[in-house]
Amino acid sequence: MSEAKPCLAYYLSAVIVFLLLTVSTSLSAPSPASSLYDTFLQCLTQHTNSTAQLSSILFAPTNPTFPTVLENYIRNARFNTSSTRKPLLIVTPLTESHVQGAVICAKSVDIQLKIRSGGHDYEGISYISDEPFIILDMFNLRAITVDVENEVAVVQAGATLGEVYYRIWEKSKVHGFPAGVCPTVGVGGHISGGGYGNMMRKYGLSVDNVIDAEIIDVNGNLLNRRSMGEDLFWAIRGGGGASFGVILSFTLKLVPVPETVTVFRVEKTLETNVTATDLVVQWQQVAPTTDERLFMRLLLQPVSSKVVKGTKTIRASVVALFLGRANEVVSILEKEFPLLGLRVENCTEVSWIDSVLWWNDDESLKNGDKPETLLNRNLNSANFLKRKSDYVQKAISRDGLEWLWKRMIELGKTGLVFNPYGGKMAEIGSDATAFPHRKGNLFKIQYSVNWDDPSPSAATNFTNQAKRLYSYMTPFVSKSPRSAFLNYRDLDIGVNTFGQNSFREGEVYGSKYFNANFERLVKVKTAVDPHNFFRNEQSVPVLPTI
């Protein structure tokens, strides 16, 4: 169930984690500030023009609120253990000038800066590190201004997608923005890494609808599209912002949405008359080629059989958004996807904002949830999880699928989510932005496993399970490189230790995330941050010095 509602999974587990862990809080009185704290604060005072509240934006580990500030935006409970390395400081800027100061001062004390815009960051690399580090936490920089007349919105990096959708809806019922379906995802990482959601086949990725950006560079300069130049602007649309600077805001081009849209969910198992296998075979033909207003996500999950007790089956769920009315999508799918058996009574016609609520949780409308739900940041709540990704370019055969179901049932818990491409995605060149995965891809896979047991052995068990499924998928997915999606961050595909081989290490994961765009990203990186100040486990490396 939790796999079918990936955004929802957080609430329950937080309670369980709380019950399972013995929380020992020893609130020590604020001890004398560390010298790093003093040095940093003094530096900030000199390098920012808004000095009024500086001590309130800087948190040393001795500060009693430090754990809460740290944990609020931890979105993967795997990285919330007592042995997880903690930052030396957390900086929570309130102004652009604070960000400028933070970059200059982290550089002057020569400590790695991790930039966090709020979630989901599956591998936690915006708030953990093997080397000493400082977190620049952007959650206060969350302003959103919507200009309906000109159909643009300026959105700061620390806003969430739910807030963006809500603020657009406040001003217009016929505008939206193509980005992710989970409301608590943070704008900065989501958009700079590509940003996709259920309007992708009609409008492309978030980055295809970004018309300007503000970034603080390694020298503390505040740049916009004109002053950063087209190379850097290209790089931060799909290359991930954190390799290049600190994204402050994006200017988004709003897109039109109909007053009424249609959502539906259809489920089959291996035991229904039309089987899950039949469904997936036809889905692969239809989902990437159908009307571009239609996005049909497919979720595959091993579940307990309701027919033969004690056995498992595979459940295939089609979850869809159609930018139009129910009767139209039913008549399209009667022709193209008869095995789905969709009827008007299986569909729900809603406003676009209610479709956002439904996609987050398909019970939400029944439960009377209002758009205000989208403003809930669900602080300090996280599941244990592992994600991986793949791209499929050739339909998987019926035999292949049947073999795969056996493997998934054996493994027991890891699910797959197929996100269909085609439509607008196939019309945009693979080098138009840094995001390369365009034409030729039928669908993208997200591997997904969540668990509640906080023990390290459970983490090993379930992450290994995801790895094994990934290995089983090898014959069915893209090759040389085996492509991956940056925002489904996965450290298994390579990490950088920033030693002698930094460039080669970077090439390993970089070629998978960026395909042929890797080379240009390296050139941009080398030009804007030659000493590699902005780095993380999978950042774009600089060219090797000869």
Ligand X SMILES: *[C@@H]1O[C@H](CO)[C@@H](O)[C@H](O)[C@H]1NC(C)=O
Torsion over CA of 475, 476, 481 and 484, rounded to 10 degrees?
A: -130
At residue 250, the 3 state secondary structure works out as: strand
293 Cβ neighbours under 8 A, 6+ residues apart: 201, 202, 322, 323, 324
Give yes or no for residue 362 binding ligand X (CB under 6 A). Answer: no
Give yes or no for residue 77 binding ligand X (CB under 6 A). Answer: yes
Binder among 413, 424, 437, 489 for ligand X (CB under 6 A): 413
Q: CA 299 → CA 167, 262, 286, 432, 446, distances in Å?
A: 30, 19, 15, 30, 9
- For residue 270, which of 215, 308, 296 has the smallest C-alpha distance? 308
Q: State both tokens at 3.
A: 């796999």
Binder among 7, 179, 252, 266 for ligand X (CB under 6 A): 266
Residue type for position 71: E
At residue 439, the 3 state secondary structure works out as: coil
Taking 3-state DSSP, the helix, strand and coil percentages for the chain, each rounded to the nearest 5, stand at 35, 20, 45
Q: Which is nearer to ligand X, 42 or 464 (CB)?
A: 464
* Residue in 165, 391, 470, 488 annotated catalytic: 488
Give yes or no for residue 24 binding ligand X (CB under 6 A). Answer: no
Q: Which residues within the stretch 272-301 sit at the binding site for ligand X (CB under 6 A)?
A: 273
Q: Which residues within the stretch 102-161 sit at the binding site for ligand X (CB under 6 A)?
A: none
CB of 532 to ligand X, least distance (A): 24
CB of 334 to ligand X, least distance (A): 13
Backbone angles phi, psi at 91, to 5 degrees: -110, 130
Give residue number: closest CB to ligand X.
412
- For residue 377, which of 200, 135, 187 has the smallest C-alpha distance? 187
Give yes or no for residue 23 binding ligand X (CB under 6 A). Answer: yes
Q: Which residues within the stretch 37-56 sit at the binding site for ligand X (CB under 6 A)?
A: 49
Please, what sign has the CA dihedral across residues 226, 232, 238, 244? negative
488 in catalytic set? yes
The piece of 11-19, 103-111, 194-202, 232-240 that touches ligand X (CB under 6 A) is: 11-19
Per-residue binding letters, 163-202, with ligand X (x by CB under 6 A): ----------------------------------------
Binder among 2, 97, 198, 463 for ligand X (CB under 6 A): 97
CB of 272 to ligand X, least distance (A): 7
Report d(CA 98, CA 90) in Å as an integer: 13
Binder among 74, 103, 236, 486 for ligand X (CB under 6 A): 74
Q: How many CA atoms lie within 13 A of 375 on its CB side?
A: 11
The piece of 96-104, 118-126, 401-409, 516-524 that touches ligand X (CB under 6 A) is: 96-104
Q: Which residues within the stretch 458-497 sit at the binding site for ligand X (CB under 6 A)?
A: 458, 461
Measured distance between the N- and C-terminal CA atoms of the chain, rounded to whole angstroms: 53
Binder among 382, 385, 473, 477 for ligand X (CB under 6 A): 382
Residues designated catalytic: 488
State the residues that interact with ligand X by CB under 6 A: 14, 17-18, 21, 23, 49, 71, 74, 77, 80, 96-97, 100, 222, 266, 273, 343, 345-346, 380-382, 412-413, 453, 457-458, 461
